[in-house]
Amino acid sequence: MPARGGAFWVLIGVGAILRASATIGSCAVATAIVHTLWTDGAGRLVATWYLVLPAFALVVLNGIGLLGELKLCGVAVRVNRRLRRSALPAPARVRSVGQRLGLITTVERAPDDHVFALTYGLWRPRIVLSDGLLARCSDDELAAVLEHEAEHVRARDPLRILLSRFAVLRSPFMPALAHLAQRARCDAELAADRRAACRVGPAVLARALLVASAPPPPLAGGVAAGFGDRDIFEARVQQLEGVRPVWGRPTRRAVAISAGGVLLISWFVVAASLTASLLHPYCG
C-alpha cells in the first residue's frame, strides 16, 4: 500500500471543524431569532444589532456552503450516471491484461477518441478507459495505466476528491486550504504512480505518461480521478527520476488572508453564541 502524506486528513479535519461550528452556531441563532420575534418582537433584535448582524452573516455563509455542497453532490451524481450509461464492457485485450495483473476491479470502455483513463464512483469505484487511449497504448503501457487507476480504486479517491472540495467550499476566506487540497490531490497521484512503477517498472510508466498526458475530459466534472493530470505532471516526472518532489508553500498573501478568515469566522461563531444566549438563554 503506497504511503500518502497527511494533507488530505488535515484538510478534512479543518473542514469538519468549520462545518460543525457553522452549523451549530447557525441553528442556535436561527432558533433564538425565531423565538425572539415570536415572543418579544423585532425591537429586541434591533437593540442587539451589533451581535445579530455577524451572527446572521454566519447563518448566510453556512447556507451558501450547504447549497454549494448540494450542488457538488448533484454534479457527482450526474457524472457517475453519465459515465455508467455511456460505458461499454472492456474488450478482451483489457480483460487479458487485467487478469495477468490480478486486478479484480471493474474496468469499462468509453466510446471516445480522446485519450483518457478515469476512476469514478463514490462507493464502488470503477475504471473507464477511452477508445483513444486503448488505440495508442501498448499492452505494457496499458498495464501501467490499470495499476495506477487500481490505486485510485483502492483508496476511493473519487470520494476523497469530493470531500476535499467540500472542505474548500466551507472556507471561502481561506485560500491556504485550496493549496492544501491541491497537495492532497498530488499525494494521491504520486501514490498511484508508485504502485504502478513497482508493478510494471518506471520506464513503462514513463511511456504511459507520455501517451496519456492529457487533462481529464469535461465529463469528469472534477469529481473523478484521472491518469493524465497535467497540473501535477512535473511532480510525477520528478518522482520517476528518483527526485523527491519539492512542494511550494502558500504565498504570504494567501496565509495572511487565511489568518484573517479564521479570525472573521471565529468572531461570527462567538457572536452567534452570544446572540443565542442573550435572545434565548436555552440556546446559548
* Between 63 and 213, residue with greater pLDDT: 63
Exposure string of 260-279, with b = 16+ CB inside 10 Å and e = fewer, is ebbebbeebbebbbbbbebb
Q: Which of 3-12, 82-91, 155-164 has the lowest mean pLDDT?
A: 3-12
What CA–CA distance (Å, rounded) separates 141 from 162? 29
Residue 216: the pLDDT is: 63
What CA–CA distance (Å, rounded) separates 202 from 196? 8
Place of cell 462507493: 123
Please state the domain extents for the chain: 7-283
For residue range 211-246, list pLDDT tens digits in order. 877 666 665 556 666 665 666 778 888 888 888 877
What CA–CA distance (Å, rounded) separates 110 from 86? 7
Residues 6 or more apart whose CB falls under 8 angstroms from that of 251 comprise none
3-state per-residue secondary structure call for 92-135: HHHHHHHHHHCCCCCEEEECCCCCCEEEECCCCCEEEEEHHHHH
| Amino acid residing at 122 | L
What CA–CA distance (Å, rounded) separates 102 from 63? 47
State the pTM of this model.
0.83
